Amino acid sequence: MTATKFTPRVFSGIKPSGGLTLGNYLGAIKRWVDMQGPSFETVYCVVDLHAITVWQDPKDLRDGTREVAAGMLASGIDPEKSILFNQSQVPEHAELAWIFNCVARVGWMNRMTQFKDKAGSGKDAEKASLGLYAYPSLMAADILLYHATHVPVGEDQKQHVELTRDIAAKFNHDFGVDFFPLATPVIEGPGMRVMNLRDGSKKMSKSGESDMERINMTDDADTISKKFKKAKTDPEPLPETVEGLSSRPEAKNLVDIYAALSNMTAEQVIAQYPGAGWGTFKPALADLAVDKLAPISTEMKRLMADKAEIDRLLARGAERAREIATPILRQTYDIVGLLRS
């Protein structure tokens, strides 16, 4: 089955736990901004129901939800062009997730690497919430509730989007329908896997131990500069060609970040700085990052000063989201045989 009978529609989401990082920006939000326009309807969500799969302080969760929304708005998500809302204001997500819990197989969930990473193993895994285990079927519901055809995510989410395709295919097959599209993961460009600044073998994440490992979207100019200048590298200068980065994860990461921030390819960055030492490249990267990120963090602060306005925008987004979601959920219930009087 192809996705051609479906309206080209983008869905993607971000968890409001622990603030936004440069990884979220380059791997997701910046690319979401670029997808706004005539080719797609775009639906972007602050996935608060996903956040509570691990403990969240209620006040921090509310503020974190607003902060992520502010980060999206400040980065250029336009609430007129896109539907922007928080997940819990559209209860259909949780309802469709239940149906998908009954479609997905335990064996599929057992293969999810992110659950294994987050839950640990042995006794630790037994203490993980049931929600964390079922998380990928809620994610499938997020996407399929809108019949989304394209899902722009960072590389770490690839397995979840593939599982979404498996759930859609099994649902269609079990009920003999052609109802849910097989959504395409859109994972491209140099920002799809931003690595930790202290260890190039690990992903940059909000939960890493040291703040020096990551750039937060709320960091000020001095902090951004300091973090890039102190980023771990090897002692070699930049290579003359991009192939020379292949076994140098930290160097590759900094080149990729430069490329993603400046809308260039890694090849173009290397062509601009062939053989450059870190004393040249790191300050150039720090300046570029400050140039691109400081206006976003300033705008985030401005938006966060008016929480009522953010809440109003999210409520309006949720109403628009439900206009798409409600009929799709109703049809799903009918297909499954759930009686609606």
203 is annotated as an active-site residue = yes
Minimal CB distance residue for ligand TYM: 27
Residue (193 or 309) nearer to ligand TYM, CB: 193
Q: Which of 35, 70, 83, 151 contacts ligand TYM by CB under 6 A?
A: 151
Distance CA 214, CA 73 (A): 21
Shortest distance, position 138 Cβ to ligand TYM, whole Å: 7
Q: Which of 3, 10, 14, 144 contacts ligand TYM by CB under 6 A?
A: 14
| Amino acid of residue 84 | L
Selected range binding ligand TYM among 33-41, 100-108, 120-128, 139-147, rule: CB under 6 A: 139-147
Order of strands across the sheet with 184-186? 82-86, 41-46, 9-14, 150-152, 184-186
Nearest to 257 by CA among 286, 230, 219: 286
Which residue of the set 81, 158, 170, 206 is catalytic? 206
Task: List binders of ligand TYM among 192-251 (CB under 6 A).
Answer: 192-194, 203-205
Task: List binders of ligand TYM among 167-196 (CB under 6 A).
Answer: 192-194
301 is annotated as an active-site residue = no
Distance of alpha carbon 52 from the chain centroid: 16
30 is annotated as an active-site residue = no
Q: Which of 3, 9, 10, 28 contacts ligand TYM by CB under 6 A?
A: 28
Question: Cβ distance 20 to 14 under 8 Å?
Answer: yes
Shortest distance, position 135 Cβ to ligand TYM, whole Å: 7
Q: Which of 33, 35, 103, 153 contacts ligand TYM by CB under 6 A?
A: 153
CA torsion 255→257→263→265, rounded to 10°?
Answer: 30
Residue (213 or 286) nearer to ligand TYM, CB: 213
| Amino acid of residue 311 | D
Q: Which of 9, 50, 227, 292 contacts ligand TYM by CB under 6 A?
A: 50
Selected range binding ligand TYM among 146-154, 170-178, 237-245, 332-340, rule: CB under 6 A: 146-154
Question: Cβ distance 26 to 48 under 8 Å?
Answer: no
Residues paired with residue 45 on neighbouring β-strands, in sequence order: 13, 85
Q: Which of 11, 115, 146, 273 contacts ligand TYM by CB under 6 A?
A: 11
Q: Which of 3, 27, 239, 258 contacts ligand TYM by CB under 6 A?
A: 27
Shortest distance, position 31 Cβ to ligand TYM, whole Å: 9
Residue (17 or 233) nearer to ligand TYM, CB: 17
Which residue of the set 30, 203, 227, 252 is catalytic? 203
Residue (9 or 282) nearer to ligand TYM, CB: 9
Tell whether residue 139 is a contact of ligand TYM (CB under 6 A): yes
Tell whether residue 64 is a contact of ligand TYM (CB under 6 A): no
Tell whether residue 24 is a contact of ligand TYM (CB under 6 A): yes
**What is the binding site for ligand TYM (CB under 6 A)?**
11-15, 23-24, 27-28, 47, 50, 139, 142-143, 151, 153-154, 156-157, 160, 192-194, 203-205
Residues serving a catalytic function are: 118, 203, 206
